[in-house]
Amino acid sequence: MIKLFIWIFLIIIFISSPFFGAVSLDFNEVFITSTLASNIFYELRLPRVLFAFFAGLILALSGLLFQSIFRNSLMTPYTLGISSGAVLGAGIAIKLEIITLFFGLSAISIFGFAGAIFTVFLLLYLAQFLKNSHHASLLLLGIALSLFYTSALMIIFYLGSTIQNDMLLRFTMGSLSIIGWSQPLTISIIGIMLFLSVYFYRFELQLLSTSDEGAKQRGVDAKRVTFILLLISSFAIGTLVSISGPIGFIGLVVPHIIAKLYPSSVKERIGKTAIFGGLFLVMCDTLTRIIQTQSELPIGIVTALIGGPFFIYLIISKSSK
């Protein structure tokens, strides 16, 4: 009953989301072509909802993937420092004032993507020196990397001009403000690709979340499957973060909500986690547009405000078992 209510609530928000914002849109006006309302609706609001949905899908699915592969509830691209890597990359691009466009992508995006991918490979490289069973150490590595990146970013802030710092600050807060359809389409293709890959490997994922030994013993090439899945998800996260900036805690919160609502094997939770993640971020995004401030509230702040307390609850409830 509660489950049904939650889903209906999220879907209603999802459908009505495009009508909320700095300018409230009249339902009838939207369908008359070439009015201001229909322009806002088709060129700003609809692409934004689509973008938010697939961004949430990518974040939640990557969270579930990282948690299952590393068998640790606190593993997400965000807690492992991959998002911070992307921010630092973007920061470098802003500081160096590289504004060239490559294939329609800004230098900020490309540097952000490079930062994320670099971090993944650094983590995979460093993980070789950890003992197999010590995935908790990997989490510490991620935290150490995050701190390092944050300090490096502080140096860029310190050296930067006011305009640069303002750009950088907005990027670090995460934003879903986009214009037009090209970015939402890119992210939705990547999101669908990620979903299909995870679905393709659903049985392997189920085996990997027993133990490395257990998976290998039952015939799974654990190393290969892990590498493929991490690579695909890092590619998705890297691309996303390079456009939206870091949006934390979705990857942490959503898989846990789904596990609480549907206590079943990881295989059964892939689809639900993906769709719930999408709807959840659309809800957070709608919140940012309803709460009126000077300009709209950055999405990263909203998700962190929800996710932070949840993170603490999670740590306490895990350790009190």
Partner 1 sequence: MIELKNLSCIYDEKIIFENINLKIPSHLNILGANGSGKSSLAKCISNISKYNGEIYIDSENTKNISLKNLAKIISYIPTKLEIYDEFISVQDFVLLSRYAYKQSFFDYTLQDKEIVKNSLDTLSISHLKNHTVGSLSSGEQQLTLIASALTSQSKIIIFDEPTANLDPKNSKIIALHIKELKKSHTIILITHDLQLASFMDNSVLFIKDSITTLFGKEFFEPSNLEKLYGVSFNSLSVKYD
Quickly count: other Cβ atoms within 10 Å of residue 58's Cβ: 33
Contacts of partner 1 in 40-69 (CB under 8 A):
67-68
Q: For partner 1, which stretch binds (CB under 8 A), given 80-88, 146-154, 169-177, 213-221?
A: 213-221
**Taking the complex as a whole, how short is the minimal distance between the CB of residue 271 and partner 1, in angstroms?**
14
| Min separation Cβ 217 and partner 1, Å | 5
Mark residues 249-288: x for contact with partner 1 by CB under 8 A, - for none. ----------x---xxxx----------------------
Check binding of 218 to partner 1 (CB under 8 A): yes
Q: What is d(CA 261, CA 242) in angstroms, rounded to the nearest whole number?
A: 32
CA–chain centroid gap for 223, Å, is 24
| CB neighbourhood size of 1 (10 A) | 5
| Closest distance of CB 1 from partner 1, Å | 20
Dist. CA 213–CA 219, nearest whole Å: 10
Among 207, 250, 281, 299, binds partner 1 (CB under 8 A): 207
Site for partner 1 in 140-159 (CB under 8 A): none
Q: Which of residues 31, 121, 203, 313 is near partner 1 by CB under 8 A? A: 203
What's at 320, amino acid-wise? S
Options 83-91, 165-173, 183-191, 208-216: segment touching partner 1 (CB under 8 A): 208-216
Report the 10 Å Cβ neighbour count for 144.
Answer: 12
Separation of alpha carbons 261 and 266, rounded Å: 13
For residue 71, state whether it binds partner 1 (rule: CB under 8 A).
yes
Nearest by Cα to 90 from 106, 72, 76 = 106
Q: Is the Cβ of residue 3 or residue 218 nearer to partner 1 in the bound state?
A: 218
Phi, psi of 74 (to 5 degrees): -100, 0
- String marking each residue 219-248 x if it binds partner 1 according to CB under 8 A: xxx---------------------------
- Cα dihedral across residues 227, 91, 75, 175: positive or negative: negative
User: Between 7 and 199, whose beta carbon lies closer to partner 1?
Assistant: 199
Interacting residue with partner 1 among 213, 292, 305, 308 (CB under 8 A)? 213
Q: What tokens were used for 62?
A: 């990557």
Length of the chain: 321
Rounded to the nearest 10 degrees, the angle between the axes of helix 82-95 and helix 135-159 is 20
Stretch 108-137 residues interacting with partner 1 (CB under 8 A)? 131
Give the C-alpha separation, 275 to 219, whole Å. Answer: 31
Interface with partner 1 by CB under 8 A: which range of 106-114, 172-180, 212-220, 238-246? 212-220
Report the residue from 36, 43, 99, 214 that binds partner 1 according to the rule CB under 8 A: 214
State in angstroms the smallest separation of the CB of 123 from partner 1. 19
CB of 284 to partner 1, least distance (A): 26
Spatial separation of the C-alpha atoms in residues 251 and 311, rounded to whole Å: 11
- Among positions 182, 210, 292, 317, the unique one binding partner 1 when judged by CB under 8 A: 210
266-279 in b/e burial notation, b at 16+ Cβ within 10 A? bbebbebbbbbbbb
Please, which residues bridge with residue 101 across strands?
A: 106
Radius of gyration of the chain (CA): 20
**Toward partner 1, which CB reaches closer, 29 or 224?**
224
Chain contacts with partner 1 (rule: CB under 8 A):
67-68, 71-72, 131, 200, 203, 206-207, 209-211, 213-214, 216-221, 259, 263-266
